[in-house]
Amino acid sequence: MPGRVSIYNDILFKKDAKEFIRNDLIQKLNSNYNIAPTMPIPTLLNDGTYLYTHFGFLPSWAREKSSMNINARSESIFEKITFREAFKFRRCIIPINGFFEWKKEEKIPYYVSSLKSDYLALAGIWDEWFDKKLNQKIITIALITCEANEKLAPIHHRMPIVLEKEEFSLWLNSSNLQEVIKLFKVYKSENTNIYEVSTNVNKVLYNQKDCIKEIKKNTIGQLSLF
C-alpha cells in the first residue's frame, strides 16, 4: 500500500536530487525506522523545498482530518477531485530506505527495499491544509500506488510508484501530464528485496533499528548419528 515506511539515511538521495533541492529545511536527517500515518516524513516538494511533511494527504478544502488519505491510486489520480489539482501542480518525492507490508492471513510483517540502491524515491502529491489544533498550515502528502510486482504480490496487491533519478526532473517540473503519467510503472521484481522482520514493527511507537532486521528461519536438517 504501504502504511509504514523507514527512512534513516538520505545522503545518496540528496546527492542525486541536489539540483532540485533549493531550500533544505531538514539538514541532518532524524532516523526513523517505523513511520506511520500522521508522523513527519521527509519530502522534496516541486517548489524545491526539502522538509518534514505530514504523512497523510488533506486537500486545502478538507474540513476534517478524518478525511485523510495516505495513498492515491495511479489509475485514477487524474480523475478524483481529491487528488486532481495536486497531481497537476503539487507533485513531490518522498525518499525512503524501505517500507513494510503484512501478510494479512498471518499478520507477518515484511520489509521491502531496493537491491539496486540504498533508497526508494516514491512519487507523491502534496497540499497545504490548515490544522486548527496547531493553528497553522501544514504540508500534507500521499504516496502514489500501482499494482504490485510479481515478487511482492503474494504479500500485498499494491505497491508505491518508484522513480529513477533520471525521472526526477520530469516528475517535479513537467506540465505535460501525458508524459508524467508514463512514469507510473511497476517497480521491477529483480530490483526488489523482501524479507520477514520482527512483529515489533506492528507497534506504532516502536522505533528501533531491529525493525528492519531480517528474521532468518532455522532449518532442521537430518540428524547424524556419527
- Alpha helix positions (H), the chain: 11-16, 81-89, 168-173, 177-181
> Three cell numbers at 215?
528474521
**pTM score, two decimals?**
0.93
Q: What is the pLDDT of residues 176-211, one digit of tens each?
A: 999 999 999 999 999 999 999 999 999 999 999 999
Q: What pLDDT, on the 0 to 100 scale, is given for residue 223? A: 46
CB 182 within 8 A of CB 171: no
Residue that has been written with the C-alpha cell 525518499 in this structure? 95
Bridge partners of 193? Answer: 113
Q: What is the pLDDT of residues 42-97, one digit of tens each?
A: 999 999 999 999 999 999 999 888 889 999 999 999 899 999 999 999 999 999 99
Q: What is the pLDDT of residues 92-134, one digit of tens each?
A: 999 999 999 998 777 899 999 999 999 999 999 999 999 998 8
Rounded-to-integer distance, Cα 226 and Cα 210, Å: 38
Query: Confidence class of residue 1 from pLDDT cuts 50, 70 and 90?
Result: low
Give every CB contact of residue 217 below 8 A, 6+ residues apart in sequence.
196
Rounded-to-integer distance, Cα 211 and Cα 21, Å: 29
* Diameter over CA atoms, the chain: 75
> Three cell numbers at 200?
515489533
